[in-house]
Amino acid sequence: MSALSVFFRLAALLPLGVVEDDDMVAGMRILVIEDDREAAQYLARGLKEAGHVAEVAADGHAGALAVEGGGFDVVVVDRMLPGRDGLSIVEEMRGRDDATPVLILSALGQVDDRVVGLRAGGDDYLTKPYAFSELLARIEALARRRRPGDVETVYRVGDLELDRLSHAVTRAGKDVPLQPREFRLLEYLMKNAGQVVTRTMLLENVWDYHFDPQTNVIDVHISRLRSKLDKGFDKPLLHTVRGAGYMIRDGGRPT
């Protein structure tokens, strides 16, 4: 077993030190391209506990395909991967004008190594072994630094507003306090405002389930969210589309 694997085996037994902070960038979809299984599991678990959706690719080819599919807020990529190396993935991204922030992980920590990684198109470079708290802080910093034109940070539907960066939600100027899962649910609905969002879409993108757990978890969270958003207002925004799913919409019943 490598020294790095031993490090992650021990680290997995320790608290991850995730701190709830109203200023955190919440509910991000993060791709982790890492061939060390234990390291990947450790990262994915920590990111999920921090309120994000983490997807893992175990080699360079799988990572390149996942990146090409798009939809990620941040990509975390190991520099040395089987199949193809991480730097070639980053270079390919930049070659097609994909501006998704990239954090490069590597056991190569010399100045020249970091320079090569950054010049390949990486936005940040973290040397192994590392503290998860630092990795999480760097990911959040990368998300905050994205240019306003790169990503929509505030969603609005009628008098409802959600700020992805400050984690604030208001309706008609009044604060709407939400739990982390409720925030992610609302964020996804507002990102797809005016469109039907199916249960499968919610399970995969909000709960990170790629199977149906056959529970009423979605119904419970939708009910709580509807109560917080629409109670006391004449015009509801959160609608159930019978037999199809759910929709956030300003005005009337969805058709």
pLDDT tens per residue across span 225-253: 999 999 989 899 999 998 889 999 986 55
What pLDDT was estimated at residue 35?
Answer: 92
Rounded CA gap, 186 and 189, in Å? 5
Would you say residue 7 has pLDDT above 80? no
Could you tell me the sign of the dihedral formed by the alpha carbons of 229, 22, 71, 31, in that order?
A: negative
* Lowest-confidence segment of 112-126, 136-150, 226-240 by average pLDDT: 136-150
pLDDT tens per residue across span 86-106: 999 999 998 888 888 999 999
Domain ranges of the chain: 3-145, 154-248
What pLDDT was estimated at residue 57?
Answer: 93
Q: Give the number of other Cβ atoms within 10 Å of residue 251's Cβ.
A: 11
What mean pLDDT comes out for the span 139-146? 81
Whether the link from the prior residue into 129 is cis, omega within 30° of 0, is yes
CATH number for region 154-248? 1.10.10.10
Rounded CA gap, 28 and 40, in Å? 17
Report yes or no: 101 and 146 within 8 Å, Cβ to Cβ: yes
Looking from the CA of 75 toward its CB, the CA atoms found within 13 Å total: 31
Higher model confidence: residue 19 or residue 125?
125
What pLDDT was estimated at residue 151?
Answer: 55
With tokens 């757990």, the residue in question is 213
pLDDT tens per residue across span 19-52: 333 334 557 889 999 999 999 999 999 998 888 8
What mean pLDDT comes out for the span 187-206? 88
Q: Which fold has domain 3-145?
A: Rossmann fold (3.40.50)
The DSSP string of 199-254 is: HHHHHHHTS--SS---SSHHHHHHHHHHHHHHTT-SS--EEEETTTEEEE-SSS--
Would you say residue 56 has pLDDT above 90? yes
In the chain, % of residues over pLDDT 90: 45
DSSP tag of 197: B
What mean pLDDT comes out for the span 3-24? 40
